[in-house]
Homo-oligomer: A and B are copies of this chain.
Amino acid sequence: MPLHLPPAVDLREVGLRDGLQLEAPLPTATKLEILDAVVATGVRRVEVTSFVSPTAVPALADAEQVVAELGRWPGVAFSALVAGFGGARRAVAAGLPHLEYVVSASDGHSRANARRTSDEAVAATRDIAALAHDAGGRCEAIIAVAWDCPFDGPTPVARTVDVARRAVDLGADQLCLGDTIGSTVPGRVVELVDAVRDACPGVDVGVHLHNSRGAGLACVLAAVQVGVTSIDAAVGGLGGCPFAPGASGNIATEEVVHMLEGSGVRTGLDLDRVLAAAAVVERAVGHGLPSNLHRAGGAARPITPAG
């Protein structure tokens, strides 16, 4: 009885945004070196920065400068995260109309992250999606604290589903469910993905997972088994949300690639190059990374099964 796995998934590298946002600001040139290493992995979707308050997130204050250089990497679908209309305008003005608009499913996180209620954040989807569409871009709604909120506790499934449905009704082209504090588990991933899909037929539903409690990769496995193919990951497992106490590292791109490729699911990424990119990230940030596969180093290089 084999696992029911899709033939391929479509990873999105989020290390440049979710990975770097909590770090001390890096020079733009260093980010471009990381981008070079990231693109070399073979990944074809990259969340490259966010257009948010430079006061709140100084590490990403150079969003315009980074976006100005993206012509170096044709063939890669770049996107940027925004938390409101002002950021969306900056992104579009910078020439990047492919937006991920983050909407919190809880009021507690929404107020901490964007100084407004969840309902107010959802309502803004209309203008942000219209702005993206008018500029020839797309608008993905990333639903933060889709499972649990560090302030308000568990997010009822019905609430996340309602946020998703309204975001789509207001123009979001696709959805991504964010486990902002890395607390969800496989059974809950499947439950929520199924519920959101039922409510939003025909809309792609991806997942953005953290590994704070160790179940991140297992949640990926659960998600792909129910057909989720849009998966966020960060090289080296760097990351966390500045406005979510207890949030820690993203799931590590190299660990996802190792797990899925070894299980017969194509990712399009070259594992050696992902590990090389993690080394570039580690040098850039100047501290160790959460990824077990990266930290284990040469002695724990992946072993290719004989057959």
Residues of B within 8 A of A190 (CB): 1-3
Chain A residues 181-239 with CB under 8 Å of chain B are 181-188, 190-191, 194, 211-215, 217-218, 220-222, 225-226, 237
Complex CA gap A302/B153 in Å reads 10
Number of copies of this protein chain within its complex: 2
Q: Which residue of B lies closest to A148 (CB)?
A: B303
Inter-subunit contact B185/A292 (CB<8 Å) = no
A26 to chain B, nearest CB (A): 25
Once the chains are docked, how many angstroms separate the CA of A156 from the CA of B260? Answer: 20
Taken together as a complex, chains A and B put the C-alpha atoms of A307 and B148 apart, in Å, by: 12
Q: Is the contact region of chain A dominated by helix, strand, or loop, or is it mixed?
A: loop
Of the candidates B225, B248, B291, the one whose C-beta lies within 8 Å of that of A296 is B248
A154 within 8 A of B: yes
CA distance A260 to B1 in the complex (A): 21
Q: Is the CB of A263 within 8 A of B188?
A: yes
Chain B residues positioned under 8 Å from A248 (CB to CB): 292, 296, 300
Report the separation of the CA atoms of residues A306 and B189 in the bound assembly, to the nearest whole angstrom.
14
Taking a contact as CB atoms closer than 8 A, the residue among B191, B246, B263, B300 that contacts A183 in the complex is B300
Q: Please tell me if the beta carbons of A303 and B258 are within 8 angstroms of each other in the complex.
A: no
Given contacts A154-B304, A300-B182, contact A292 B246 (CB under 8 A): no
Further pairs besides A154-B304, A183-B302: 16, Cβ < 8 Å: A1-B190, A2-B191, A3-B187, A3-B190, A155-B306, A184-B262, A185-B262, A214-B252, A214-B258, A215-B258, A215-B259, A218-B220, A221-B221, A246-B300, A248-B300, A290-B292
